[in-house]
């Protein structure tokens, strides 16, 4: 029994590491090939809509059962999409606008603290010493990446939007976990991206720039819809279904470290001592969780 538990626990971490790897690699793809002329907000709106359409088409052909949900759960999934997926995407974008990418990523990955506090106060889930240590290591490690990029500018607006991006990530992790008892992660992703796309396009209507995007940009959007949205979120929620949302959130903090490693080997970018130290700290936090924290 204990062996099976440890194996399942490790599987949950591997799923989450897979998600973080794809997110990190996606950042390098964007840096390597993304056409900066496209408006970032337009990019997010198309990415969400395309992700929904692609997943809906796939499920319609290969696995229709994951499309159907109970009428009573429509409100649940609309809340998940609007206050989880849409909030995370929009406020992360605004955080980048008022700070920079590395700072926005760091602020978003403060979400494990919010998850741990919610689970402690509302679900009576204890916060173990190993979990507190892992959170501390991931935050210190993340701050190393911010400092190493020499991009430490932070104003009130950037901090505000970054915290709300973290709230969005925490919400979709904790609130989304409830649906995994009855539905597949595919169903969760389908409706959260669908409702998020609808909400964002209502708040900020699609402009005509979409019709003038070059083929290369559409290919990048297709890549991001599949390999930076659908597949990594599927892996992430598979992880959340096995390990706790807090542990999954801490493990996802590997994203900037993985992005730096990929950039080092692929884009020939330098890897600073601070980035190496930050990566070691984050990896150490994940190892501590896997070895010593058995709270799921």
What pLDDT, on a 0 to 100 scale, did the predictor assign at position 260? 82
CA dihedral of 95, 96, 100, 104, whole degrees rounded to 10: 50
Asked if 139 and 281 touch (Cβ cutoff 8 Å), the reply is no
> Rounded distance, CA 39 to CA 18, Å?
28
Per-residue pLDDT of the chain (296 residues; tens, 9 = 90+): 455 545 668 899 999 999 999 998 877 776 655 555 667 788 888 889 999 999 999 999 999 999 999 999 999 999 999 999 999 988 888 887 777 677 778 888 899 999 999 998 888 888 888 999 999 999 999 888 877 766 555 677 888 888 999 999 999 999 999 999 999 999 999 999 999 999 998 888 777 778 788 888 888 889 989 999 999 999 999 999 999 999 999 999 998 888 888 878 876 777 788 888 988 999 999 999 888 776 55
Domain chopping of the chain, boundaries: 2-292
What pLDDT, on a 0 to 100 scale, did the predictor assign at position 217? 83
Query: Two tokens at 214?
Result: 């070059």
What pLDDT, on a 0 to 100 scale, did the predictor assign at position 6? 52
Spell out the residues 6+ positions from residue 146 whose beta carbon is closer than 8 angstroms to its own. Answer: 102, 103, 106, 152
Burial readout 193-223 (b: 16 or more C-beta within 10 A, e: otherwise)? bbbbbbbbeeeeeeeeeeeebeeebeebbeb
What pLDDT, on a 0 to 100 scale, did the predictor assign at position 149? 64
> Rounded distance, CA 90 to CA 47, Å?
12
What pLDDT, on a 0 to 100 scale, did the predictor assign at position 154? 61
Total Cβ atoms within 10 A of residue 184 = 18
Asked if 29 and 267 touch (Cβ cutoff 8 Å), the reply is no
Burial of 269 (0-12, 13-18, 19+ CB in 10 A): middle
What pLDDT, on a 0 to 100 scale, did the predictor assign at position 30? 66
């Amino acid at each position: 029994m204990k062996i099976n538990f440890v194996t399942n626990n490790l599987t949950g971490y591997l799923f989450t590491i897979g998600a973080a790897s794809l997110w990190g690699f996606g950042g390098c793809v964007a840096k390597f090939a993304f056409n900066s002329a496209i408006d970032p907000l337009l990019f997010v709106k198309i990415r969400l809509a395309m992700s929904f359409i692609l997943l809906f088409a796939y499920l319609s052909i290969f696995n229709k059962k994951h499309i159907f949900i109970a009428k009573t759960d429509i409100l649940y999934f609309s809340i998940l999409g609007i206050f989880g997926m849409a909030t995370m995407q929009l406020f992360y974008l605004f955080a980048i606008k008022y700070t920079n990418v590395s700072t926005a990523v760091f602020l978003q990955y403060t979400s494990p603290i919010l998850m741990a506090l919610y689970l402690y106060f509302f679900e009576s889930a204890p916060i173990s010493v190993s979990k507190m240590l892992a959170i501390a290591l991931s935050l210190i490690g993340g701050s190393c990446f911010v400092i190493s990029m020499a991009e430490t500018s932070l104003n009130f607006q950037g901090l505000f939007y970054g915290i709300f991006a973290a709230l969005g990530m925490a919400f979709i992790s904790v609130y989304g976990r409830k649906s995994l008892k009855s539905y597949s992660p595919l169903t969760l992703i389908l409706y959260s991206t669908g409702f998020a796309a609808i909400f964002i396009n209502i708040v900020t209507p699609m402009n005509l720039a979409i019709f003038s995007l070059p083929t290369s940009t559409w290919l990048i959007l297709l890549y991001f819809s599949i390999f930076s949205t659908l597949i990594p979120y599927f892996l992430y929620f598979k992880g959340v279904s096995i390990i706790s949302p807090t542990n999954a959130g801490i493990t996802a903090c590997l994203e900037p470290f993985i992005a730096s490693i990929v950039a080092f080997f692929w884009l020939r970018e330098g890897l600073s001592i601070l980035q190496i130290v930050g990566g070691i700290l984050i990896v150490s936090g994940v190892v501590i969780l896997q070895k010593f924290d058995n709270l799921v």
